[in-house]
Amino acid sequence: MPRTLPTSKKVPLGHAESTARNLPDAVRGDLDARLARIEGHVAGIRRMLAAGEDCDNLLIQASAVRSALNGVLIGLMEAHMDSCVLPCARGGRNEEAVRRFRRAMETVLKRS
């Protein structure tokens, strides 16, 4: 269900096609599993840091986390294309589909 503003008149925010609820269960499961592994990896890095481990090893582990996050971003972008952008284009809203794709790319690239 789309989010709404807290007013007497319910105004949907965002787009129905742009919610994680529209992602296939397998995709959501894969992304969640990847994020759980990243979470565990980060906890391990924190333990290494607290234990005074070698900086080279910390850098290697942090780089591995970054790589794993890139995998999550790729999975999210692919899923966004399949479940948000393409349905928009198939519905005849080509300009909106292009805007959505550009916005997603800007978001990912701006924060890289």
Is residue 33 assigned to a domain?
A: yes
CA distance 38 to 26: 18
Higher local confidence (pLDDT), 23 or 39: 39
Domain at 78, CATH number: 1.20.58.1000
Range of the domain at 96: 25-110
Question: pLDDT (tens digit, 9 = 90+) per residue, 26-83?
Answer: 999 999 999 999 999 999 999 999 999 999 999 999 999 999 999 999 999 999 888 8
Q: Which of 47, 88, 45 is nearest to 65 (CA)?
A: 45
**Exposed, middle or buried, 78 (CB in 10 Å: 0-12/13-18/19+)?**
exposed
Domain count, the chain: 1
Is residue 18 assigned to a domain?
A: no
**Positive/negative CA dihedral, 19, 23, 25, 31:** negative
